[in-house]
Amino acid sequence: MSAKVWLVGAGPGDPELLTLKAVRAMHQAQVVMIDDLVNPAVLEHCPDARIIAVGKRGGCRSTPQAFIHRLMLRYARQGKVVVRLKGGDPCIFGRGSEEADWLKLHGIEVELVNGITAGLAGATQCGIPLTLRGVARGVTLVTAHTQDDSPVNWSALAQGGTTLVVYMGVAKLADIRDGLLAGGLPASTPVAMIENASLPQQRDCRSTLATMHGEALAFGLKSPAILIIGEVAAGAQVLPIVQYG
């Protein structure tokens, strides 16, 4: 079998949300490099592979990206089938395309495999439709954390008229609230904050734009969590019932 690196989305946590293609890649893998947001339970699909943890959680001890690149390259050049497992989708705030480009530049065959991204999973698990006729005509996935710490233009995002799904936002709740209020989003806009989406320990905290910071503190909201900001976050009770027939 020829060397290849699979860049695979492991989904948000629930192992049943893996794709069949992800499972097939794991079955073939000889080396699996796993991020720390990946649920280790998914490793049942690659019992014979060598497992290497290369997590890099924000603020914690981390494996430098260059090291991860070199490790993938080394195993691929040894002729090994490598699976790089990433939480959610590899290309949503996951550097999947950077890793793919770098490997291709070094002559390695790469295949990207979609995963269900945390924002979509969290919404669905909480019964929140991210788009809804007459209520939300689109959805914006945005990170609160920028590599160079440059400020996010929350005011502009307030004008978009779409549901906002914010990744890496737990430490930035006050900035997000202030920016969105300054941009004109009503203080009463519903917010859902979903921790550990799709895992047995999933929790969700409902609030409004004005109260989300205080409520998250009282709730003890911890990373990993996503925020859903928009009318749809109010949940089923307050959304219009569409009549058919």
> Using CA atoms, how far apart are residues 187 and 170, in angstroms rounded to an integer?
19
Q: Give the pair of three-digit tokens for residue 233.
A: 């976050």
Among 6, 93, 102, 154, interactor with ligand SAH by CB under 6 A? 93
Residues in 115-174 that interact with ligand SAH by CB under 6 A: 117-118, 122, 167-168
13 near ligand SAH, judged by CB under 6 A: yes
Among 94, 179, 190, 230, interactor with ligand SAH by CB under 6 A? 94
**What is the side-by-side order of every strand in the sheet holding 110-113?**
50-53, 31-34, 81-86, 4-9, 110-113
Q: What is the dihedral of CA 98, 103, 109, 114, to 10 degrees?
A: -20
Among 225, 228, 233, 239, interactor with ligand SAH by CB under 6 A? 225
Catalytic residue among 21, 36, 56, 175: 56
Q: Which stretch binds ligand SAH (CB under 6 A): 75-83, 85-93, 123-131, 174-182?
A: 85-93
12 near ligand SAH, judged by CB under 6 A: yes
- Helices 96-105, 65-77: axis angle to 10 degrees equals 50
Per-residue binding letters, 99-118, with ligand SAH (x by CB under 6 A): ------------------xx
Q: Using the minimum distance from each CB to ligand SAH, give the nearer residue, 30 or 63.
A: 63
56 flagged as catalytic = yes
> Using CA atoms, how far apart are residues 166 and 168, in angstroms rounded to an integer?
7
> Using CA atoms, how far apart are residues 244 and 117, in angstroms rounded to an integer?
31
